[in-house]
Amino acid sequence: MIYLDHLASTPLDPQVLEAMLPWMRIDAAGNPHAAHPAGWRAADAIDQARAEVAALVGAQPGEIVFTSGATEANALALLGGVPAGRGCVVSAVEHASILGCLPELRRRGHPVAVLPVDGSGLVDPAVLDSALAGLPEPSLVSVMAANNEVGTVQPLAELAAAAARHGATMHSDAVQALGTRTLDMAALGLHGLSLSGHKLYGPMGIGALIVRPPFRPVPASTGGGQQRGLRAGTLPTPLCVGLGAACRLARTRREEDARRIGALRDRLWQRLHQRLPGIRRNGAADRLAGCLNVTIPGIDAADLLLDLPELVVATGSACHSGDGEPSHVLLALGLSAADAHASLRFGLGRGTTVAEVDEAADRLVTMLGSANPGE
Ligand code: PMP
């Protein structure tokens, strides 16, 4: 199997697993919120994990709110982060976990603006500026750091500056960016940021919302008052420790990973581009190291992949629902529905090798009947 779907989920790094294992054994039992030595030990381990998460994004440990993943983090930011009567602005290429909050925000009477993107998926800060000027009382702007389908990296500092000019809080879904990009909330002017363990070689089932003053969303669940009342519920010590270890690794590896994985992505593109006439690359010049999204006009990507079961890549159909609808991201970039269905997303990662990239390109080209044996 050639696994090129790291944007959907990354494998657990063995070092992360090692860090987690002691906390899954019976002798480590202890509710981290309990007032006894077993509880204090677990709470200490969680505090260290908080510090690692904070260090990755330029925040303070006390600003980390652990959640079950980025979907929950995004819902907390949006559904809890817009005060009554105030407005919210997001981009058209956000993940379903952001866009899915909009009907509820509208139902509650919040004015909502959805920003268009250009043909490469970029949000123009000037477009944000005028959208904010058009809302009576804008309160929250949410634009992702990097897109999960085409890899386009947004100009977050400029977007945050526009939000600040209008007195709005800036949140970013940074799920895809953190593995290969440096992202400092303080330097960028971000008040909220969402991340996810299983996109960072950490465990599934954990993520975080980072909230910096003055951003303080209204909690979705009440109960035990854990995490400063922002997210009730007993913290899962092994998952928190795993997320902390994944963030520590990302901090030490992201530059090297970006260089190596980016070179593999370019190699894959070269090998496809040379041999498949008409193939096009989607996204902006500044794209994620691990993302290559291509359109091969005339193909049915979903059908093609059925014939290549050993090649794990994603199609341009909505990956979140499997309903076969064309991707809202590709449509927002201006692709036709037919071209969206003719699109493939390769997600390269830490474990990807040159041999895998070459083999993936060869298999695809052979399957499409355009193999050039002299190549
Ligand atoms: N945002 C983006 C950009 C994503 O790619 C994903 C995962 N597909 C999510 C949010 C949701 O993350 P999680 O799986 O942790 O809920």
Is 306 inside any structural domain?
yes
Q: Convert the pLDDT of each residue in 78-132 to its tens digit.
A: 999 999 999 999 999 999 999 999 999 999 999 999 999 999 999 999 999 999 9
Number of domains in the chain: 2
- Using an 8 Å Cβ cutoff, are 94 and 175 in contact? no
Which atom belonging to ligand 1 lies closest to the Cα atom of 197? Answer: 15
Domain end (from 215, 250, 285)? 250
Is 336 inside any structural domain?
yes
317 and 269 inside one domain: yes
- Using an 8 Å Cβ cutoff, are 233 and 221 in contact? yes
Mean of the pLDDT values across residues 316-325? 64
Catalytic annotation, residues? 319
- 3-state secondary structure at position 5: strand
For 70-74, 108-112, 221-225, which range has the lowest pLDDT when averaged over its residues?
A: 221-225
Is the sign of the CA dihedral 265, 266, 268, 273 positive or negative?
positive
Question: Which residues, other chains included, contact 130 with Cβ-Cβ below 8 Å and sequence gap of 6+?
Answer: none
Is 82 inside any structural domain?
yes
Domain end (from 250, 278, 299)? 250
For 44-48, 88-92, 224-228, 237-241, which range has the lowest pLDDT when averaged over its residues?
A: 224-228
Structure tokens at 43: 């709470």
271 and 323 inside one domain: yes
- Between the CA of 23 and the centroid of ligand 1 the distance, in Å, is 25
Polymer length of the chain: 375
User: pLDDT over 70 for what percent of the chain?
Assistant: 97
pLDDT class for 291, splitting at 50, 70, 90?
Answer: very high
Is 338 inside any structural domain?
yes
Which CATH number does the domain housing residue 305 bear? 3.90.1150.10
- Between the CA of 127 and the centroid of ligand 1 the distance, in Å, is 25
Is the per-residue pLDDT at 322 higher than 80?
no
Domain end (from 224, 250, 276)? 250
187 and 259 inside one domain: no
End-to-end CA distance of the chain: 24
Best CA proximity match to 349, nearest among 15, 10, 22: 10
pLDDT (0 to 100) of residue 375: 40
39 and 102 inside one domain: yes
198 and 72 inside one domain: yes
Is 332 inside any structural domain?
yes
21 and 59 inside one domain: yes
Mean of the pLDDT values across residues 129-151? 95
217 and 320 inside one domain: no
Mean of the pLDDT values across residues 242-257? 98
Which CATH number does the domain housing residue 119 bear? 3.40.640.10
User: Which domain, by its residues, includes 91?
Assistant: 16-250
162 and 45 inside one domain: yes
Q: What is the DSSP string of 270-325?
A: HHHHHHSTT-EEES-SSB-TTEEEEE-TT--HHHHHHT-TTEE-EESB-TTT-S-P
Matching residue, tokens 């109960």: 223
Is 375 inside any structural domain?
no
234 and 294 inside one domain: no
What average pLDDT is seen over the chain? 95
232 and 199 inside one domain: yes
Q: Convert the pLDDT of each residue in 330-375 to its tens digit.
A: 999 999 999 999 999 999 999 999 999 999 999 999 999 843 444 4
Is the sign of the CA dihedral 250, 251, 253, 258 positive or negative?
positive
Mean of the pLDDT values across residues 45-66? 98
* Radius of gyration, CA atoms only, the chain: 21
- Using an 8 Å Cβ cutoff, are 311 and 326 in contact? no
288 and 341 inside one domain: yes
Q: Is the CB of 244 under 6 A from ligand 1?
A: no
pLDDT class for 224, splitting at 50, 70, 90?
Answer: confident
Q: Is the CB of 69 under 6 A from ligand 1?
A: yes
Q: What is each CA distance from 200 to 32, 183, 197, in whole angstroms?
A: 24, 14, 5
Q: Is the CB of 148 under 6 A from ligand 1?
A: yes
pTM of the model: 0.96
Is 297 inside any structural domain?
yes
pLDDT class for 138, splitting at 50, 70, 90?
Answer: confident
pLDDT (0 to 100) of residue 27: 81
Is 321 inside any structural domain?
yes
Best CA proximity match to 294, nearest among 323, 330, 258: 330
Mean of the pLDDT values across residues 253-266? 98
Q: Could you give the CA distance from residue 239 to residue 23 in angstroms, rounded to a whole number?
A: 9
- Between the CA of 322 and the centroid of ligand 1 the distance, in Å, is 15
Q: Could you give the CA distance from residue 238 to residue 244 in angstroms, rounded to a whole number?
A: 10
Mutate to test the pocket of ligand 1, among 144, 148, 175 (most ligand atoms within 8 A of CB): 175
196 and 118 inside one domain: yes
Protein residue with its CA nearest to atom 8 in ligand 1: 8
pLDDT (0 to 100) of residue 318: 56
Question: Which residues, other chains included, contact 152 with Cβ-Cβ below 8 Å and sequence gap of 6+?
Answer: 93, 117, 120, 121, 122, 146, 283, 284, 286, 287
